[in-house]
Amino acid sequence: MLIQKVSEAQLKNKPKILVIGDLMIDRYIYGNSSRLSPEAPVPIVNIQNESITLGGAANVIQNLVSLGANVNVAGIIGNDNAGIQLIEHLEIDFLDTDLIVKDSTRVTTLKTRIMVGNHQLVRLDNEVTHPMAVELENELIEKIDDAVREADIVVLSDYNKGLLTESFTSRVIALATLYEKKVIVDPKGLDYRKYKGAFLIKPNRKELAEASKSENINSIEKLKNAASVIFDQTDVPYMVVTLSEQGMVLLSPDTHVELPVKATEVFDVTGAGDTVISCIAYFVSLGMDLEDACELANHAAAIVIRRLGAVTTTVEEILADLAQSVKQGVHLAH
């Protein structure tokens, strides 16, 4: 039984997972609004409070910490206050931040959302997305060598902010291949060839359509056709395509497994993709097979989309959701 498999796997080890990706800060400003400005036809927001959370690859890290992984993180930030805040938030979870490099030519990505009630009024992005310099790339490759060798699995969390360039990504995957480590990728952009040599790529439906130059992926056949384009480009053995409230599909070049969504209610799909890739990485690094890992990730996604915002879940919650499905007679993959 899958629940027993997880319990036995957890007793054996605490996986070491290296996350390399675009680190961000999400800032939320909450207020109320009852009138328009006399200066322009825009609402006046009276600020009540604000909060800071981790975003991008940093949200993947939070998910992995919540699952119980031993996480190492590598990336670049600006030499600014947002970068200081990001480091402080990571260190709350006792994470080692020595592999995070400061780039004086960029700012730390900061996304500020103005919220009135549960409605997002506007989002302000402060970011620099140019590719990192070759000197910085060389420094980072040198820094991560030991971490790649010691990791059970490597996660690339790409948000197209200038870190995971074609050159750097290829070098990271080559390093992982040298040390016989699997690489799992949350991709971004229109050209997935830079992920050649990875173990698994996890796009969502929209990302897959754009990268494969496909239109209107509204059936499993169209999805398989789009995926075949990426398989041809990258030679990866596996792909997981997330379909928001419709679940996900695990594909190889020759087969596919559909995993319908487990949620009875869908409130917010924000951050669900981060949860999925975190769970797949975590359970595969425990030694579980990929289909079981995807089944568990599907239950994890069901948990987080029942909640508002980018939230995390735990192995205990996932197993409870799985047990509830068994109780209700839902067919599960074993």
Q: Exposed, middle or buried by CB within 10 Å (0-12, 13-18, 19+), for 186?
A: buried
What Rg value do the Cα atoms of the chain yield, rounded? 20
Q: Mutual orientation of helices 272-285 and 57-67 as an angle, nearest 10°?
A: 50
The letter for the amino acid at 17 is: I
How many DSSP H helices and E strands does the chain contain?
10, 13
Cβ atoms of residues 259 and 249 within 8 Å? yes
Element (H, E) at 130: none
Task: Specify the pairing of strand 153-157 against strand 70-78.
Answer: unpaired
Tokens (6 digits) for 204: 């969502």
For residue 230, give the nearest of 255, 201, 199 by alpha carbon. Answer: 201
The letter for the amino acid at 32 is: N
Active-site annotation holds for 232? no
Which is catalytic among the residues 274, 289, 292, 321? 274
Give the catalytic positions in this structure: 274
